[in-house]
Amino acid sequence: MNQQKQTKDSDTQTSPIKNKVGSIFVPVRDIEKSRSWYCQVLGLKEADCSIMNGHLCPLPMVGTGIILDTMPMWGGDQPGGAPSIDTPAFMLLTADLKGSLEFMKKIGSELVTEIEHDHWFVVKDPDGNKLMICAE
């Protein structure tokens, strides 16, 4: 009986992990090239996006952070670098979906889709990571 009660208590234990995303890591091969591309896409100044330890570049975001990382511990030190994100893992928001699509075309981004369901489209960053751009 006592063992059964302990099991039930441990099943309902409150997790110490917060329901909050701190940052999202994006694997990149050329940290400077990727920083330039993301700064252009997000309207950031490169001077505000310092490269740390030779492989990390936190981007100043509103809300959840994005960190560009050559990921030396996760395959970035191997030929070809760390694997890119093949399925969109996060979305960037826009108030102007059509304007955003035209902007991405203008800067030469590789499109994966056109606008789908009048709500989103997907592009690749310079490292082949798939990113979703979604209407707010």
**Model pTM?**
0.87
Q: Which residues contact 89 (CB under 8 A, 6 or more apart)?
A: 24
Give me the residues paired with residue 70 across strands: none
What is the number of H-type helices and E-type strands within the chain?
Answer: 3, 7
Q: What is the pLDDT along the chain (136 residues), one digit of tens a residue?
A: 555 555 555 578 999 999 999 999 999 999 999 999 999 999 999 999 999 999 999 999 999 999 999 999 999 999 999 999 999 999 999 999 999 999 999 999 999 999 999 999 999 999 999 999 999 9
